[in-house]
Chains A and B, each alone.
Chain A
């Protein structure tokens, strides 16, 4: 069993094993492997905002799952109260929130589950789900009006 530390960026082993450049036999596949999330000296990521980090190609931040989506959330800044409910319950780390402010949605990592829309407390909701092919600006122009409370 070989455990290899890899140099991110130069290591193409992953691509080869997945059948890209050159196929390997079943008994030639690396059995154990250590992969680095960041390039170079690793710091505690808790103190770095995502834009300050040096992600390596092995980090799934550099990948995308946008093709999973058939519906997408659209964000309306005018109604949002920055409660951060969507941030705490987003399963895909796709709500971009900086300095207590909600900035928008990370469409590379959003899978379109719709949890953020369900937990949004404003009236009308500041996040709504639309068809993936819809145009964000058009939908924002036709945002629903405030609904009156029917019961009570």
Chain B
């Protein structure tokens, strides 16, 4: 596989972008940062498929496409199925010798939002993981159905207000906890599962390269700050992601072969979760006196999760 150098940013920047501008994602959207980084990580041919979501509707507005690689979209749920179908076809044609250029390296990648990964496409993704195709699934987790107006998804964290779980006099927003998709995917026995963030570009690029290199179904959950639904200024995308990783709301770690957990980033100064929550409009109601207990609960959950991750890293289970 032709890995591109990620030794430093200058070397990384010599790559030629294969994701074109003038797509219609919001200004400051982290989706395109993540997609660009993935496509710059490798020189190989890429076969990409997308679930319906912000990324799909904004990068393929007929008659335009922003993709300089093979790209397909079919339905809301089946990016994983579509790309594994292409992979099975590729293998079969390679075996029969009907490929035009059999030695050209090809990588198969699927992109999905959190709605199509955690909820709607979950069964399809689980099936593709179980069949053991050689592909990488990347979830762009912005914690709501941002494409359709910010409805709650099972990735929405406790306390966030969304258009279908609104905060008001009787409610503090979503009451249910976020699904732990990384552990679920690791439980499929996947050879490489990770949670990464775009502000740590080098860790993310390393993770992407590892996933593309690894044979078998790999899953990566990436944090994608949503300027529209998280309600912050577009220029602060990287700052908000910094807060998310430094407050351990989104710990960055990988799980190899379902049991070998490595924490990839340990913040020097762990921030209080208030810093992360206070920077976004969707958590503003939590700072009212009657909702103080929710913030305390969120902080407790984060501490518990971080403790658990550290223990898992020690004992390798």
Interface residues of A in 42-58 (CB under 8 A from B): 44-50, 53, 57-58
Contacts of A47 in B (CB 8 A): 16, 43
Q: Does B24 contact A (CB under 8 A)?
A: yes
Pairs across A and B, CB under 8 Å, 7 listed = A35-B63, A65-B24, A82-B10, A109-B20, A109-B21, A109-B22, A115-B238
Among the 9-residue stretches B66-74, B210-218, B248-256, B280-288, the one with 4 or more Cβ atoms under 8 Å from chain A is B66-74
Among the 9-residue stretches A87-95, A132-140, A142-150, the one with 4 or more Cβ atoms under 8 Å from chain B is A87-95
Q: How far is the CA of A88 from the CA of B9 in the complex (A)?
A: 8
Closest to A68 in B: B27
Q: Does A80 contact B (CB under 8 A)?
A: no
* Additional A-B contacts beyond A58-B64, A82-B10 (9; CB < 8 A): A14-B63, A45-B18, A50-B17, A65-B21, A68-B27, A84-B12, A89-B201, A92-B22, A114-B234
| Majority-rule SS of A interface residues | loop
Interface string of B152-167 (1 = CB under 8 A from A): 0000000000000000
Q: How far is the CA of A119 from the CA of B234 in the complex (A)?
A: 13
> Which of B18, B64, B234 has a CB less than 8 Å from the CB of A60?
B64
Give the number of chain B interface residues (Cβ < 8 Å).
51
Contacts of A59 in B (CB 8 A): 20, 64-66, 68
Give the number of chain A interface residues (Cβ < 8 Å).
54
Q: Does B13 contact A (CB under 8 A)?
A: yes
Closest to A109 in B: B21
Q: How far is the CA of A60 from the CA of B63 in the complex (A)?
A: 9
Tell me if B33 and A93 are in contact (CB < 8 A).
no
Interface string of B1-41 (1 = CB under 8 A from A): 00000000111111111111111110111111100110000
Q: How far is the CA of A31 from the CA of B59 in the complex (A)?
A: 18
Contacts of A92 in B (CB 8 A): 21-23, 27, 32
Q: How far is the CA of A63 from the CA of B58 in the complex (A)?
A: 13
Q: Does A33 contact B (CB under 8 A)?
A: yes
Contacts of B36 in A (CB 8 A): 90-91, 93
Q: How far is the CA of A84 from the CA of B36 in the complex (A)?
A: 14
Closest to A32 in B: B74
Q: Does B237 contact A (CB under 8 A)?
A: yes
Tell me if B27 and A113 are in contact (CB < 8 A).
yes
Q: Does B123 contact A (CB under 8 A)?
A: no
Q: Does B258 contact A (CB under 8 A)?
A: no
A20 → chain B, closest Cβ, in Å?
11
Tell me if A44 and B20 are in contact (CB < 8 A).
no
Tell me if A93 and B17 are in contact (CB < 8 A).
yes
Tell me if A63 and B65 are in contact (CB < 8 A).
no
Closest to B9 in A: A84
Q: How far is the CA of A112 from the CA of B28 in the complex (A)?
A: 8
Tell me if B237 and A115 are in contact (CB < 8 A).
yes
Q: How far is the CA of A83 from the CA of B59 in the complex (A)?
A: 28
Q: Does B239 contact A (CB under 8 A)?
A: yes
